[in-house]
């Protein structure tokens, strides 16, 4: 298993401070959820961890099998090979490839056969390809009968919820021990969200570490081991879900200045955020 330690992470865009000396620990084998209003820095945090943005200062340290690696300055590909993978708010599948092929694409970081071996279909490549297919099918089985029976179907034929599931499987296919999930429940109806929560918990219980951005407070409250709240790029609260949602700073961030006082400083944020649109897909 792996853990993340983030210290003093800062990212500026001109005069805008998107992240302001953020400290965050993601212990191994846990689900840590990030909440905050739009523009609070959640996605910028993910982009800095995954290498899409380079922070102006700070550290992002991955500890895996006793080895500590500072991810700052590494490319997204190097970070992925180190054991950190992510999904995005918008679905990014290869629509004209099959479900199985999409998962196999995610395994490219772990393949060792040379280009020549693959072109010539050498024995080493055929063995590795067979092993990759077996592993891909096992990953599809993590989501019950949602994906495995559809392994040969094109990705664009899947329901919206199954496309979300396939993105998570493809991220797992990289061999990630730390998974960054960016609003995985967005657009799902309540029954799909319920299944997704069970899936994410199963991923954690299978020995992985999960850092989650989500607007659905039902998801946050049900599966989070720890919750961190951001506002204007700064961490304003951290703790259990109940501790964070009852924080005066969090109430003020969502409901406006003075709201905590009007609520007697102990009233939790109801819903804490507008949920993403939900409905049948």
Total length of the chain: 281
What residue spans in the chain does CATH classification 3.40.50.300 cover?
Answer: 1-83+176-281
Lowest mean pLDDT among 213-217, 232-236, 251-255, 274-278: 274-278
Q: How far apart are CA 131 and CA 264, in angstroms?
A: 60
Look up residue 228 and give its two tokens. Answer: 């961190």
pTM of the prediction? Answer: 0.85
* 209-241 confidence digits (pLDDT tens): 999 999 999 999 999 999 999 999 999 999 999
- What share of the chain has pLDDT > 90, as a percent? 77
Question: Is residue 168 predicted with pLDDT exceeding 70?
Answer: yes
What mean pLDDT do residues 58-69 have?
Answer: 96
- Are 48 and 54 contacting, i.e. CB atoms less than 8 angstroms apart? yes
In this prediction, residue 211 carries a pLDDT of 98
DSSP conformation letters of 51-95: TSS--SEEEEEEEETTEEEE-TT--HHHHHHHTEEE--SS----T
Look up residue 118 and give its two tokens. Answer: 């693959």
In this predicted model, which residue has the larger pLDDT, 107 or 279?
107
Q: Strand, coil or helix: what is 271?
A: coil
Mean model confidence pLDDT for the chain = 88
- What share of the chain has pLDDT > 70, as a percent? 84
Lowest mean pLDDT among 190-194, 201-205, 271-275: 271-275
In this predicted model, which residue has the larger pLDDT, 281 or 45?
45
Question: Is residue 126 predicted with pLDDT exceeding 80?
Answer: no
Q: Running DSSP on this structure, what letter comes out for residue 160?
A: H
In this predicted model, which residue has the larger pLDDT, 125 or 38?
38
pLDDT band at 151 (very low <50, low <70, confident <90, very high): very high
What mean pLDDT do residues 26-45 have?
Answer: 97
Fold for the domain defined by 1-83+176-281: Rossmann fold (3.40.50)
In this predicted model, which residue has the larger pLDDT, 127 or 11?
11
């Amino acid at each position: 298993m792996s853990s993340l330690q983030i210290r003093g992470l800062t990212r500026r865009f001109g005069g805008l401070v998107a992240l302001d000396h953020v400290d965050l620990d993601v212990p191994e084998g846990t689900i840590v959820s990030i909440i905050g209003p739009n523009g609070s820095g959640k996605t910028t945090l993910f982009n800095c961890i995954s290498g899409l943005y380079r922070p102006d200062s700070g550290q992002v340290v991955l500890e895996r099998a006793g080895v500590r690696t500072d991810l700052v300055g590494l490319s997204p590909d190097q970070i992925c090979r180190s054991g950190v993978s992510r999904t995005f708010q918008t679905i990014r599948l290869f629509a004209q490839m099959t479900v199985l092929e999409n998962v196999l694409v995610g395994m490219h970081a772990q393949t060792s056969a040379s280009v020549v071996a693959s072109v010539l279909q050498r024995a080493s490549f055929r063995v590795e390809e067979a092993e990759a297919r077996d592993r891909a099918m096992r990953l599809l089985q993590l989501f019950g009968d949602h994906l495995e029976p559809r392994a040969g179907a094109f990705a664009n034929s899947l329901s919206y919820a199954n496309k979300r599931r396939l993105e998570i499987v493809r991220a797992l296919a990289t061999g990630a021990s730390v998974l960054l999930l960016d609003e995985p429940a967005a657009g799902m109806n309540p029954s799909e969200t319920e299944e997704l929560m069970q899936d994410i918990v199963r991923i954690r219980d299978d020995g992985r570490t999960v850092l989650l951005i989500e607007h659905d407070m039902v998801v946050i409250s049900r599966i989070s081991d720890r919750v961190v709240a951001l506002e204007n790029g700064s961490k304003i609260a951290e703790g259990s879900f109940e501790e964070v949602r009852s924080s005066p700073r969090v109430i003020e961030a969502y409901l406006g200045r003075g709201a905590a006082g009007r609520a007697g400083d102990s009233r939790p944020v109801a819903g804490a955020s507008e949920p993403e649109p939900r409905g049948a897909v």
